[in-house]
Amino acid sequence: MAINTRNRGTFDWLIIVLYLALVGIGWVNIISASIDPTENYNLFDLSNLYAKQLLFIGLSILLIIFILSLEAKFFERFASIIYVVSILSLLGLFVFGKTISGATSWYGFGSFGLQPSEFAKAATALALAKYLSDIQTDVKSFLHQLRAFVIIALPAICIIPQPDPGSALVYAAFFFPLYREGLSGIYLIIGSVVVGLFILTLAFGPYYVIAGIFAIAVILLIMNRKKRFGKRLYYVLPIVSMLFVFSVDYIFQNVFEQRHRDRFNVVLGKDVDMKSIGYNTYQSEIAIGNGGLFGKGFLKGTQTKGDFVPEQQTDYIFSTVGEEWGFLGSTLVIFLFVGLMLRVIILAERQKSQFSRIYGYSVAGILFIHFLVNIGMVTGVLPTVGIPLPFFSYGGSSLWGFTILLFIFVKLDSNRVNDW
């Protein structure tokens, strides 16, 4: 295994500082979400979540050192192998996996667990970058698009039956690098229309939505009545859309599980059950609202200290920020995340290697989906799907997976002067 001795000290320190800031602030909030303020702190007692997280952070530093010491070309050269190993690790869960909270997503090692889906994101990003950067790959070719979709879909298909639909949802992020490399925007338009029609049908019912589709189709047809070509689309698309609208109820009732239906209904304001499925979100909203402008202060959040928000140290960690650090603290955290994602995109555009650029956009896309869905879930804007806030939520697999994902790009970026 080659060790790189060139370009030491050329790592992007802004990304590193943003990473350390997010990890550090996340750890402070994990302390607040998990500790009894009457207890004494013990950083070496691994029965405490904050002590475990500190151990995970220390191991992350070792991971960073290891990744940055490798030759940058290592990741491109072995991308396919890493991807295959990742798929095998996901398949192995169906035989050797440990079930926690109803999901068989972990390999158990004593009191610790390892969640391979957290590492599969980086492996998929490497594999996609490897395939798309191949000189023979044309992203505008349907066959090559299909192969790229298979690379993205395969780990998602392995994750969904665990069941872990939240982690599978993250793979939609890979349309971001595909679009950057020339994928037609029609896929994004179709996807957006499908999602929009689905939500509108659940919210208002099929007949109102169909009436809206019919009205839009008539208006467009009148506006473009002088065109000789393409008029079939004004008949075909509305018919297809209407058929999809009529299928929404069947999909919702027969494909979605009851817990998923309940979460959608809570967000849509249909069945607001604050004692069961809507409890987490409701308590999270109260916690954030309690924070006001400046917050209640460290270890002084009433919702946090009262354990009113379940899983607050993991998926709902942002509610601790909102309650104890207020609007200003929440804004700071959001700015740190946005700054990190923008920095990754800026550096991705500077890459001379197509492989590095595609991987960089994959990193930005994955971080964005996690950030958007988690914050939306905690604030009640989106249904609860159970995905962590990067670098922030408690958990070794999550922290290590995101650390590997980000610092592979830091390493690739440090080598861009050698990519000709």
- Amino acid code (one letter) for 242: M
User: Is the model's pLDDT at 342 over the cut of 90?
Assistant: yes
**What is the pLDDT, as a whole number, of residue 152?**
93
**List of residues 6+ apart from 306 with CB closer than 8 A:** none
**pLDDT over 80 at 220, yes or no:** no
Question: What pLDDT sits at residue 1?
Answer: 45
- pLDDT tens track for 292-322: 888 888 877 777 766 677 777 888 888 888 8
Distance CA 160, CA 176 (A): 21
Angle between helices 317-350 and 354-378 (to 10 degrees): 160
The neighbour count for residue 376, using CB atoms within 10 Å, is 15
Question: Across the chain, what does the average pLDDT equal?
Answer: 84
pLDDT for the residue numbered 227: 60
Helix axes 317-350, 13-34, angle to 10 degrees: 170
Q: Nearest to residue 131, comparing CAs of 117, 158, 150?
A: 150
Locate tokens 């506006």: which residue? 223
Higher pLDDT among residues 417 and 243, named by residue: 243
Per-residue confidence (pLDDT) for residue 9, from 0 to 100? 47
Mean pLDDT of 266-287: 68
- Give the three-state DSSP class for 295: coil
| Per-residue pLDDT, 4 | 47
For the chain, the 3-state helix, strand and coil shares in percent, each to the nearest 5, are: 70, 5, 30
Question: Is the confidence at residue 8, as pLDDT, over 60?
Answer: no
Least confident residue range of 2-6, 96-100, 167-171: 2-6
Question: pLDDT per residue over 105-145, tens digit each?
Answer: 888 877 778 889 999 999 999 999 999 988 787 888 889 88
pLDDT tens per residue across span 56-98: 999 999 999 999 999 989 999 999 999 999 999 999 988 887 8
Give the model's pLDDT for residue 233: 62
Find the range with the poorest average confidence among 208-217, 345-354, 364-373.
208-217
Per-residue pLDDT at 332 exceeds 80: yes
What is the predicted pLDDT for the residue at 271?
59
Is the CA virtual torsion 80, 83, 87, 92 positive or negative? positive
pLDDT at residue 190 above 90? Answer: no
**Residue 230 pLDDT level (bands cut at 50, 70, 90):** low
Say how far apart CA 177 and CA 24 lie, in whole Å.
Answer: 29
Q: Grade residue 276 by pLDDT with cuts at 50, 70 and 90.
A: low
Task: Please state the pTM of the whole predicted model.
Answer: 0.86
**Residue 189: CB atoms within 10 Å:** 10
